[in-house]
């Protein structure tokens, strides 16, 4: 076969292969997300990555740019326009709206979907990532805002982070509107000012002031007092032991659908100043599907930023043993026992709840032990012709001898 | 907003939404698959659903019809042809070929990918399903064939099925070739006869015989003796306690890449006679990417057929408590305690390892208890102004009274 006919071993541009060692980290993220969400009584849902494209036209989309330029949208063979979901919120709003009458509100729901954005390749950014999405549907009560932020903070502590490692910045869309509207020049639009404010951290201050003065009659005072909606959320979080939350008047979250509390979590490490998580209240989104709207508050956090955070704070060392790839024990056979004997002994060990593999080919014992070590096994169980066996810890080569029943407890 | 502008609440045609009660079943399937594969020392990997379309052109594809007519393939904005993976084997072959030199062969790898097939809508079949894929790479040894079939059988028993519920049918591509080739008419192709044999169960016998006589000089005797390759696999399985495997000479698995042992598992229930799982040895596939091939044997089993099997045999009742959607406990507050008090008590309960939610809005106690029941909670923890609480089991309304520390053990 010529080189030109060979398919590449690379994945598609901008997506990742997860070899076992990366998959173990990915599962650690997902398991910690799931366990923490469920500790708050959240239930898991899911949906397909394929959605009708119409779902993202209209206010259901968080961001116009994403809909117009950054989605994977194609026409299927039945002339339907299909999109690979760029975010989960429109999907979950669709699902809740579809069963609004039967579902037991309030709902606490979470999901760990993969999302697609078609970003320009030269930016070097990923086109697929995974995200924890958690939402409470069916109540306008501020206690739901507090609970969803409490959950977000608890996820960081579940990974071993301390309150000093991250900061929760909170604002409120209604308060933002109240303070901006009196300042708007005639004809200037609130949304334009929100967009500008959202861009502020990425702009030079002089340029920002210039643009601001086109929209407002006087500078928007970002050091004004804490709005009452934010103050009460901060107080309730403090009562629950969450003390690393602050009011941040420049948090806007540039999305169409937020209506109340909005928040983001930032890494406090100066080398990793990225937003790690963002969310807020969106009470009107399900109205797009008809009928009375179901109020909602939720957030999303991505796997890539989460992993960066864990690496920055040296928190990946705590991956539990059971998530490490590879078997706990590999059964190897010396000359007197066969490969088939090894498979039978492995089946007995497995029945006792130990993850175990066995040697598959006729090889010298030394070569089998080397393979066992490379496979990531913690122990090799060496069987000979009789019932006495040797359990060898591969890290320090220490050996325990005995019959199988005696050795099982040493494998745990 | 007019009806015409409303997006539908239905998912895209041919894919499924997983509301929490369906997601719980899905997770039970995936968890059982994962735990069983890991008990054999298999390591989990994953990759994106997006693959370069070229991966499926050539022998890497299991079936020409699928590549030509049944894939979701589209052109991205960078003029790359992209496919939503229709099967996992080409992906895993790509990944193994890409790191052939570094990977510690033999590999035991598994994954639970979603796969897409663009089938005609009128057939009513799903366009997306999930599949357990398990493979051993790096050895031609028959012990690997035996182990992969042992794993397949163990998955059924892990769900509570007995050996009488399913049957493993085994054949061998090399043996099939050996017995067909001497019978071929001049000019007739082996592959045409394999395809015909694969279709036999779906054809009328008369029509099959007619087609067969065009290709062969005499009828292919399907009741010939067991080929030695199959006999030794059956013997090794029996030695491991797997007694429901048989030789089945009409098993062909109509895919290009199989080279040795091939097998399928069937439900023995006459009402659900579908193939539940299929696989085999494919020793040459990775050669497509250049270099020496890495021999492989593996199988795939789908979530939809697995769920049908479990329903047919009434095996879904064993879903573990921890997979059931909803919190274990909901904290409700009577008039003397507030919603904020409920959130604080819930946090204390959560710290003791119990999945717990709390009431979010000012409501009468009776209404809060009704909501707790609808949410799927097993217990309501009723708090009043003092430290005495009531733990109410919602199924039988039995009540235990005490301080929080006394009640925690009753929540397990």
pLDDT in tens, chain A (412 residues): 445 578 999 999 999 999 999 999 999 999 999 999 999 999 999 999 999 999 988 654 445 555 567 889 998 888 889 999 999 999 999 999 999 999 999 999 999 999 999 876 555 579 999 999 999 999 999 999 999 999 999 999 999 999 999 999 999 999 999 889 999 999 999 888 988 988 888 899 999 999 999 999 998 876 568 999 999 999 999 999 999 999 998 898 876 789 999 999 999 988 877 889 999 999 988 998 988 899 999 999 999 999 999 999 999 987 777 677 889 999 999 988 999 999 999 999 999 999 999 999 999 999 999 999 999 999 999 999 788 899 999 999 999 999 999 999 999 8
Q: Which of B2, B4, B9, B15 is most worth mutating to test chain A (most A CB atoms within 10 A of its CB)?
A: B9
- Cα–Cα distances in angstroms (integers) from residue B170 to residues A185, B154, B227, B229, in the given order: 79, 16, 11, 10
- Cβ-Cβ contacts under 8 Å between A and B: the total is 280
What are residue A154's phi and psi, to 5 degrees? -65, -30
Separation of alpha carbons B149 and B139, rounded Å? 15
What pLDDT does residue B124 have? 58
Least Cα separation, residue A330 to chain B (angstroms): 8
Q: Which of B10, B29, B48 is most worth mutating to test chain A (most A CB atoms within 10 A of its CB)?
A: B48
Cβ contact, residue pair A23, B15, below 8 Å = no
Residue located via tokens 């000979």? A384
Which residue of chain B is at minimal alpha-carbon distance from A233?
B340
Least Cα separation, residue B252 to chain A (angstroms): 26
Helix boundaries (H) for A18-73:
20-39, 64-69
Which residue of chain B is at minimal alpha-carbon distance from A119?
B77
- Cα–Cα distances in angstroms (integers) from residue B215 to residues A68, B194, B222, in the given order: 56, 11, 16
Nearest to A7 among B288, B327, B357 (CB): B288
Nearest to A11 among B48, B141, B327 (CB): B48
Least Cα separation, residue A44 to chain B (angstroms): 6
Q: Is the pLDDT of residue B201 over 70?
A: yes
Cβ contact, residue pair B6, A106, below 8 Å = no
Which tokens in the block code for residue A376? 């990531």
Average pLDDT over residues B162-183: 94
Nearest to A375 among B104, B147, B340 (CB): B104
Residue with the bigger pLDDT between B131 and B125: it is B131
Chain B residues within 8 A of A353 when measuring between CB atoms: 39
Smallest CA-to-CA distance from B262 within B275, B274, B272 is with B275
Separation of alpha carbons B281 and B79, rounded Å? 36
Separation of alpha carbons B172 and A211, rounded Å? 74
Nearest to A18 among B10, B47, B360 (CB): B47
Which tokens in the block code for residue B151? 């794993």
What pLDDT does residue A250 have? 84
End-to-end CA distance of chain B: 49
Query: In the structure, what pLDDT confidence band is assigned to residue B199 with cuts at 50, 70 and 90?
Result: confident
Whether the link from the prior residue into B295 is cis, omega within 30° of 0, is no
Chain A residues within 8 A of B353 when measuring between CB atoms: 39
pLDDT tens digit sequence for B296-349: 999 999 999 999 999 999 999 877 776 778 899 999 999 889 999 999 999 999
Chain A residues within 8 A of B340 when measuring between CB atoms: 143, 236, 239
Cβ contact, residue pair B144, A326, below 8 Å = no
Cβ contact, residue pair A128, B344, below 8 Å = no
Q: Which residues lie closer than 8 Å to A130 by C-beta, 6 or more apart?
A: A26, A29, A30, A112, A113, A114, A115, A302, A303
Query: In the structure, what pLDDT confidence band is assigned to residue B2 with cuts at 50, 70 and 90?
Result: very low
- Asked if B119 contacts B304 with a C-beta cutoff of 8 angstroms, the reply is no
Cβ contact, residue pair A47, B114, below 8 Å = no
Nearest to A47 among B18, B325, B339 (CB): B18
What pLDDT does residue B16 have? 96
Chain A residues within 8 A of B78 when measuring between CB atoms: 13, 121
Which pairing describes strands A50-52 and A114-116: parallel, antiparallel, or unpaired?
Answer: unpaired
Nearest to A51 among B12, B39, B50 (CB): B12
Smallest CA-to-CA distance from A262 within A177, A326, A330 is with A177
Which residue of chain A is at minimal alpha-carbon distance from B339?
A143
- Asked if A350 contacts A385 with a C-beta cutoff of 8 angstroms, the reply is no
Classify B363 as helix, strand or coil: coil
What pLDDT does residue B1 have? 40
For the ranges A5-14, B67-76, B146-155, B395-404, the lowest mean pLDDT is seen at B67-76
Which tokens in the block code for residue B116? 């897409």
What are residue B216's phi and psi, to 5 degrees? -115, 155
Smallest CA-to-CA distance from B136 within A359, A379, A8 is with A359
Cβ contact, residue pair B51, A143, below 8 Å = no
Q: Is the pLDDT of residue B122 over 80?
A: no
Q: In what order do the strands lie in the sheet with A329-333?
A: A356-358, A329-333, A379-383, A389-393, A399-402
Separation of alpha carbons B46 and A29, rounded Å? 14
- Asked if A407 contacts A381 with a C-beta cutoff of 8 angstroms, the reply is yes
Nearest to B41 among A57, A116, A355 (CB): A355
Separation of alpha carbons B359 and B365, rounded Å? 10
Q: Which of B3, B26, B35, B43 is most worth mutating to test chain A (most A CB atoms within 10 A of its CB)?
A: B43
What pLDDT does residue A122 have? 55
Cβ contact, residue pair B46, A26, below 8 Å = yes
Cβ contact, residue pair B12, A340, below 8 Å = no
What pLDDT does residue B112 have? 98
Which tokens in the block code for residue A156? 């960081």
Three-class HEC string of A97-152: HHCCCCCCCCEEEEECCEEECCCCHHHCCCCEEEEEEEEEECCCCHHHHHHHHHHH
Q: Which of B39, B353, B363 is most worth mutating to test chain A (most A CB atoms within 10 A of its CB)?
A: B39
Which residue of chain B is at minimal alpha-carbon distance from A150?
B347
pLDDT, chain B, mean: 91
Cβ contact, residue pair A360, B289, below 8 Å = no
pLDDT tens digit sequence for B26-79: 999 999 999 999 999 999 999 999 999 999 886 544 455 555 678 899 988 888
- Asked if B383 contacts B336 with a C-beta cutoff of 8 angstroms, the reply is no
């Amino acid at each position: 076969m010529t080189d030109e006919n060979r398919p590449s071993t690379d994945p598609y541009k901008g997506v990742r292969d997860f070899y076992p060692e990366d998959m173990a980290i990915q599962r650690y993220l997902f398991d910690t997300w799931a366990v923490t969400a469920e500790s708050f009584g959240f239930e898991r849902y899911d949906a397909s990555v394929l959605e009708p494209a119409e779902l993202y036209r209209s206010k259901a989309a968080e961001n116009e740019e994403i809909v117009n330029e950054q989605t994977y949208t194609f026409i299927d063979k039945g002339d339907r326009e299909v999109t690979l979901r760029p975010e989960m919120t429109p999907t979950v709003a669709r699902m809740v709206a579809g069963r609004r009458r039967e579902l037991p509100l309030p709902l606490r729901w979470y999901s760990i979907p993969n999302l697609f954005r078609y970003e320009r390749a030269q930016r070097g950014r990923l086109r697929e990532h995974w995200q924890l999405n958690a939402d409470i549907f069916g109540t306008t009560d501020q206690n739901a805002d507090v609970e969803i932020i409490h959950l977000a903070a608890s996820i960081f502590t579940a990974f071993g982070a301390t309150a000093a490692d991250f900061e929760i910045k909170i604002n409120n869309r209604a308060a933002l509107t109240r303070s901006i509207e009196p300042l708007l020049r005639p004809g200037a639009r609130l949304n334009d000012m929100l967009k500008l404010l959202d861009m502020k951290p990425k702009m030079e201050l002089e340029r920002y002031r210039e643009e601001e003065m086109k929209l407002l009659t006087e500078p928007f005072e970002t050091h004004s007092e804490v709005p009452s909606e934010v103050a009460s959320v901060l107080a309730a979080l403090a009562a629950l032991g969450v003390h690393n939350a602050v009011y941040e008047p420049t948090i806007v979250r540039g999305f169409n659908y937020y209506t109340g509390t909005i928040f983001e979590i930032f890494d406090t490490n100066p080398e990793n100043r990225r937003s790690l998580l963002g969310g807020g209240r969106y009470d009107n989104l399900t109205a797009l599907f008809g009928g009375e709207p179901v109020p909602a508050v939720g957030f999303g956090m991505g796997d890539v930023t989460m992993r960066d955070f864990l690496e920055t704070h040296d928190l990946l060392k705590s991956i539990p043993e059971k998530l490490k790839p590879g078997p706990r024990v590999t059964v190897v056979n010396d000359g007197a026992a066969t490969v088939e004997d090894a498979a039978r002994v492995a089946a007995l060990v497995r029945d006792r709840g130990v993850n175990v593999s066995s040697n598959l080919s006729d090889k010298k014992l030394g070569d089998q032990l080397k393979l066992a070590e490379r496979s990531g096994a913690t122990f090799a169980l060496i069987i000979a012709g009789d019932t006495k066996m040797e359990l060898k810890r591969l890290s320090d080569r220490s050996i325990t001898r005995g019959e199988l029943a005696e050795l099982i407890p040493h494998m745990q």
